[in-house]
């Protein structure tokens, strides 16, 4: 996204949440700089679509990081969320333990987590450990 597209995107997103950009030029410049730092490598349409999705469920103006994470989650090869990964993990664990393993495609991030934690997690504390490990590894 070039600077003109970024400026327009930031202004649209601020308007979506009925917020005003800072009035002081230095403060406004810092806002654009921060947004550019995180969103320069993303397409304008993808960020605006992410903003549309967030606008339906978020009360407060999202940070550029939240927008980028939402955009990355919408990509076809995006890793599953922590909750989705736990569900896939439990399905894999149960089929392996039952001896009925199916050939399924597992996202590489989930494969990495399974290698780290194994296939013996069952309790709520285990789920918390899995989720924390997954979020630290995926870095969305």
Q: What is the mean pLDDT of each run of 10 residues along the chain (140 residues)?
A: 93 95 93 95 95 94 94 88 92 88 82 90 93 81
Element spanning 55, H or E: helix 44-55
CA distance 92 to 26: 53
87-128 residue pLDDT tens? 999 999 998 888 887 767 888 889 999 999 998 999 999 999
Is the distance from CB of 127 to CB of 121 less than 8 angstroms? yes
What stretch(es) of the chain map to CATH 1.10.8?
3-73
CA distance 11 to 48: 11
Which CATH number among 1.10.8, 1.10.287, 3.10.20, 3.40.50 corresponds to the domain 3-73? 1.10.8
Count other Cβ atoms within 10 Å, centred on residue 113.
24
**Start-to-end Cα distance in the chain:** 20
């Amino acid at each position: 996204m070039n600077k003109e597209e970024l400026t327009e995107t930031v202004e649209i997103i601020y308007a979506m949440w009925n917020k005003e950009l800072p009035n002081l030029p230095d403060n406004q410049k810092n806002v654009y700089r921060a947004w550019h730092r995180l969103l320069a490598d993303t397409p304008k349409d993808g960020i605006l679509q992410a903003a549309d999705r967030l606008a339906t469920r978020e009360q407060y103006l999202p940070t550029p990081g939240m927008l980028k994470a939402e955009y990355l989650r919408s990509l076809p090869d995006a890793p599953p969320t922590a909750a989705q990964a736990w569900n896939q993990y439990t399905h894999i664990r149960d089929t392996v333990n039952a001896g009925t393993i199916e050939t399924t495609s597992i996202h590489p991030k989930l494969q990495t987590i399974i290698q780290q934690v194994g296939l013996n997690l069952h309790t709520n504390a285990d789920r918390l450990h899995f989720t924390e490990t997954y979020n630290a590894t995926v870095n969305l």
